[in-house]
Amino acid sequence: MKKQLFAVVVGAALALPMFAQAQSSYVGINAGRSELKLSGDLGSGKEDKTGYKAYAGYNFTQNFGLEAGYANFGKLKDRDAGTAVSMETSAFYLAGTATMPINPQFSAFAKAGVTQNRTKATVSGFGLRFSGKEDKTAAMFGIGAAYHVNQNVSVVAEYENFGKTYSENGAKLKASMLSAGVRYQF
């Protein structure tokens, strides 16, 4: 995870001069509640964790754009009848965005795209231990609203569904996030 976060920070630092050249580029950071739902042979459960994301985007017009980012959903832990399950999941995503200005201060937006989810899983119990990683590509969507503090700074709130992040050995894990944050537009 540290390597992924480092890659996002370095990538954003390298891309920042390019984004600064464009009038409609933005960067942002959000934090909030991520929801991880586990179902299947390993048991079932739902946990709310603190999640965060960093992202950058470009608006081609006032209404349409493209956004890419990294999200971390935290770690799901579940114990059931002597078996312990631990799953940590994150995602890189690319989505098209559609924005509808409501007035000069408020706008609503939606996004749809593809996400590359990575889940690290560990299952232990009865003297046995299994661990592994799975990368899973899934569709993602989101909706949100923005309050424009000034021409460059906006406060955003959004809900995003990242779909299935893990599907192996009869277990399925789904991730979504409800978050708020700050966006800076160049």
Residue 5, pLDDT > 90, answer: no
Q: Enumerate residues 6+ apart whose C-beta is below 8 A from 122.
A: 84, 85, 86, 87, 129, 130, 131
First-residue to last-residue Cα distance in the chain? 29
Model pTM score: 0.79
Structure tokens at 49: 């964790």
pLDDT at 91 over 80: yes
Domains of the chain: 2-185 (2.40.160.20)
What number of other Cβ atoms are within 10 A of residue 13's Cβ? Answer: 9
- Least confident stretch, 20-24, 66-70, 156-160, 174-178: 20-24
